[in-house]
Structure 1
Amino acid sequence: MRYNQALMDELNLLLHFDLDTTQQGIKVHHDADPAVITAAVRLHDKGLITLSDGGYLTELGREASEHAQAMLRLLREPTPA
Structure 2
Amino acid sequence: MPFSASHLSELNLLLQFPSTSTQEGIKVHAHTAAAETVEAAESLFEKGLISQKDGGYLTPMGCEAVELTQKLQSMLSGA
- The two structures have a TM-score, normalised by structure 1, of 0.93
Higher Cα Rg, which structure: 1
Q: Segments of 4+ in structure 1 off by > 6 A?
A: none
CA distance in structure 2 between the partners assigned to 1:25 and 1:43 by the alignment: 13
Match in the other structure for 1:52 = 53
What is the letter of the counterpart of residue 15 of structure 1? L
- In structure 1, runs of 5+ residues without a counterpart are none
Write the distance in 2 (CA, Å) between the matches of 1:22 and 1:57: 7
Alpha-carbon displacement from aligned partner over 1:48-70 (angstroms, at most 9, x marks no partner): 00000000000001101100011
Say what the alpha-carbon RMSD is for the aligned residues: 0.9
Aligned to 2:73: 72
Paired position in structure 2 for 1:9: 9
Which residue of the partner structure matches residue 40 of structure 1? 41
Deviation at 1:8, TM superposition (A): 0.2
Structure 2 gap ranges (5+): none
**CA displacement at 1:23 relative to structure 2:** 1.2
| TM-score, normalised via structure 2 length | 0.95
Q: 1:16-49, CA deviations, whole angstroms, 9 ceiling, x for partnerless residues?
A: 0111111110000022100000000000000000
